[in-house]
Amino acid sequence: MIDSIKVFCYFFMKIIKKDSFIVILIGFLVIFFLHIPILQALEFDLTAAENTVGKRFASKFCEAKEKGFSTESSSEFALNNTYLKFVAFPEDERFIEDLWEFTIGIIRKDCGQYVTDDEKTILRDFFKEEGEIASNRDLYLPY
């Protein structure tokens, strides 16, 4: 295996200049080593979003529903009392979907008796819309 790599490298060194080969080799190594941390960072972002946005949104939504507010009012109350208005999410629909599943799971557990299926649909649409805004925060901010 190592001999074949040496032959491969020797072949390319003859074809292109030695300096170019080193630059290309370093480029491949950098890409290889950066690829794994980027994937891990996305997973850490979701966990952080679940903890800071999902749990708090569910908590504030349930708090408002238990006081008798409508789904729309409870959603606005939760939005105004969480970081969802201020965070920027990655432009990834799966990220928002995973965050929604986490959040609705908490809502079902904590105050599911106050939320009908139709209200869950309304809440999901609201959450997705706010998630889209958070994913495209630069489009919604004034210049």
In angstroms, rounded to a whole number, what is the distance separating the alpha carbons of residues 71 and 64? 9
Tell me the per-residue pLDDT of 104-126, one tens digit each, with 9 for 90 and over: 999 999 998 988 899 899 889 98
In angstroms, rounded to a whole number, what is the distance separating the alpha carbons of residues 81 and 75? 10
Tell me the per-residue pLDDT of 44-56, one tens digit each, with 9 for 90 and over: 455 766 777 788 8
In the chain, domain spans: 2-140
Tell whether pTM > 0.75: no
Q: What are the tokens at 56?
A: 């708090």
